[in-house]
Amino acid sequence: MENQLGLHEKLEAHEILTFKSNCIAKSSTMAGLAQDSELKNLLSMDVQQSRLEAEQLVNLLK
């Protein structure tokens, strides 16, 4: 059976995807500005994790 989402579910997933995109942009920017190496590593890990989550959402919406 094919997984089908309702319209409200698609809209909520799209809203989360938009939020994740903003998180990726902010963390990427802040990683470039951060001077503490531990903070840079945390922000880089956040970017990687957020990208994976965004890809999963895109696949869900296809």
DSSP class per residue in 15-34: HHHHHHHHHHHHHHHHHHH-
Nearest-10 crossing angle of helices 7-33, 37-61: 160
Q: Where are the domains of the chain?
A: 1-11+37-62
DSSP 59: H
For the full predicted model, state whether its pTM sits above 0.85.
no
Question: CB–CB of 43/37 below 8 Å?
Answer: no
Reported as a single tens digit per residue, the pLDDT across 7-40 is 999 999 999 999 999 999 999 999 999 999 999 9
Closest CA to 24 of 53, 48, 55, 47: 47
